[in-house]
Amino acid sequence: MLRVNQGSLYPALHGEHQGWIKADWGVSSWDGARGFYRLTASDAGRLEVEAETWARLTAAIGRVLEMA
């Protein structure tokens, strides 16, 4: 349904430098070394803000498509 390519995903993961996410490195059972990302407790509210922004954007796009 939704594919996120490297050009979109990696910039989002750079939020680590802004304190939004925490990166840990470990080993996965299927392909070796891998980064694991999680939201930090100190900025967990950021997800809610971003979700609201996304909802407004998709609603606006939906209205434009209805007019087409």
The pLDDT of residue 43: 72
The pLDDT of residue 10: 66
The pLDDT of residue 27: 83
The pLDDT of residue 40: 78
The pLDDT of residue 57: 94
Rounded average pLDDT per 10-residue block, the chain, 68 residues: 66 64 79 78 77 93 91
The pLDDT of residue 11: 66
DSSP string, the chain: -----HHHHHHHHGGGGGTSEEEEEEEETTTEEEEEEEE-GGGTHHHHHHHHHHHHHHHHHHHHHHH-
The class level of CATH for 6-67 reads mainly alpha
Domain range annotation of the chain: 6-67
